């Protein structure tokens, strides 16, 4: 059912994005293998754990400003005991405010400063650049939803994602939903154009028909015998005593094949998928393509194409996609 599938889609994005960072493991133990390849594949998700010392911010909890003395005092007032609660349901005002504030953080806040620093990192593989970009995005959004009473951790973002999915399902005001969609679209373009130093006008606008046709081609290419064979070959050489490290390295190998052999690669005499979509060539073209495609993130047909193809690639790589199928955050 489209509703249930879309809700699971949003839940899985944040569940995978908030898991302890495999990016850090890969960066420490597999970066040499990645940089020796023709490129690396950024995924739409896969952000590292957001609230940690690397982000320069303490974990957000309901009592993070309290002193130890206050916390142990037997004479706590009702305000001292207060624990913020998320809204029982999102209203139009809340949904619009969170969407607009997220865009403001990305365009003008500390998140923008971090993105500009990340943009100057020219030598890191694009997979790490994309994942770090998503980490900055989710960290900014975390601060915003925490101000609305959601927990200041991965559970808060997952709960907000579920509430937002329910809001979209139950709200029939098409004009307002279009307003939210356009605001989200502008936020994504600001995010990607800042990270990759692009002009936002360079990012194309796909129609739903174009997006579906392009993803059908991507899905078919992902399941091509030569692509699956290349993936098997790349993964077969990966071994590590640390199983988390080995898993992260295999995921990175899978991502490399998707970008190099599916999106940027092409058969002789033919254009690559990103070229056909008029995004150009190279890693920046991949970033443009993903940004343009994000406008249709919840489209049931595109999700069906992607999940079917990723299931084949997970099988070829010897990876377990889990009972609910491949996670969207690991998808192209």
Give residue-wise pLDDT tens across range 305-316.
Answer: 999 899 999 999
Query: Are 293 and 216 contacting, i.e. CB atoms less than 8 angstroms apart?
Result: no
Give residue-wise pLDDT tens across range 61-93.
Answer: 444 444 555 555 667 788 888 888 999 989 999
pTM (whole model) above 0.85: no
For 206, the 3-state DSSP assignment is coil
* Measured distance CA(163)–CA(166) in Å, rounded: 5
Give the pLDDT of residue 74: 62
Give the pLDDT of residue 1: 54
Give residue-wise pLDDT tens across range 269-314.
Answer: 678 899 989 898 888 898 999 999 988 987 899 999 999 899 999 9
Give residue-wise pLDDT tens across range 226-263.
Answer: 899 999 999 999 988 898 898 988 988 898 888 888 88
Give the confidence band of 168 by pLDDT, cuts at 50, 70, 90: confident
* Measured distance CA(301)–CA(219) in Å, rounded: 11
Query: Are 190 and 103 contacting, i.e. CB atoms less than 8 angstroms apart?
Result: yes
Phi, psi of 74 (to 5 degrees): -75, -10
Give the pLDDT of residue 72: 57
Buried b (16+ CB within 10 A) or exposed e, 95-132: beebbbbbbbbbeebebbebbeebbeeeeebbbbbbbb
* Measured distance CA(133)–CA(218) in Å, rounded: 24
Give residue-wise pLDDT tens across range 7-21.
Answer: 555 444 444 444 444
Q: What is the mean pLDDT of the chain?
A: 78
| pLDDT value at 175 more than 50 | yes
Give the pLDDT of residue 71: 53
């Amino acid at each position: 059912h489209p509703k249930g599938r879309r809700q699971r889609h949003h839940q899985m994005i944040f569940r995978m994005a908030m898991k302890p960072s495999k990016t850090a493991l890969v960066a420490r133990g597999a970066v040499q293998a990645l940089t020796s390849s023709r490129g690396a594949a950024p995924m739409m998700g896969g952000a590292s754990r957001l609230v940690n010392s690397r982000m320069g911010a303490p974990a957000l909890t309901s009592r993070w400003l309290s002193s130890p003395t206050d916390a142990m005092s037997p004479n706590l007032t009702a305000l001292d005991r207060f624990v913020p609660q998320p809204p029982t349901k999102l209203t139009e005002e809340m949904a619009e405010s969170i969407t607009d504030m997220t865009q403001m953080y990305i365009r003008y806040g500390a998140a923008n400063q971090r993105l500009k620093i990340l943009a100057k990192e020219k030598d890191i593989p694009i997979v790490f650049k994309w994942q770090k970009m998503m980490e900055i995005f989710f960290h900014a959004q975390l601060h915003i939803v925490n101000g609305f009473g959601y927990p200041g951790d991965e559970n808060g973002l997952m709960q907000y994602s579920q509430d937002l999915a329910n809001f979209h399902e139950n709200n029939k005001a098409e004009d307002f939903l279009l307003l939210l969609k356009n605001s989200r679209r502008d936020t994504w373009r600001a995010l990607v154009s800042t990270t990759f130093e692009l002009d936002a006008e360079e990012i194309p606008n796909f129609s739903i028909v174009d997006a579906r046709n392009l993803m059908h081609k991507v899905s078919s290419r992902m399941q091509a015998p030569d692509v699956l064979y290349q993936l098997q070959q790349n993964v077969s050489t990966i071994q590590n005593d640390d199983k988390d490290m080995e898993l992260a390295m295999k995921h990175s190998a899978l991502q490399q094949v998707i970008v190099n052999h599916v999106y940027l690669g092409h058969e002789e005499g033919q254009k690559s998928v990103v070229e056909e979509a008029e995004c150009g060539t190279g890693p920046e073209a991949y970033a443009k393509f993903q940004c343009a495609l994000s406008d249709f993130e919840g489209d049931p047909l595109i999700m069906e194409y992607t999940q079917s193809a990723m299931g084949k690639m997970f099988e070829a790589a010897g990876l377990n996609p889990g009972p609910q199928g491949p996670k969207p955050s690991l998808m192209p």
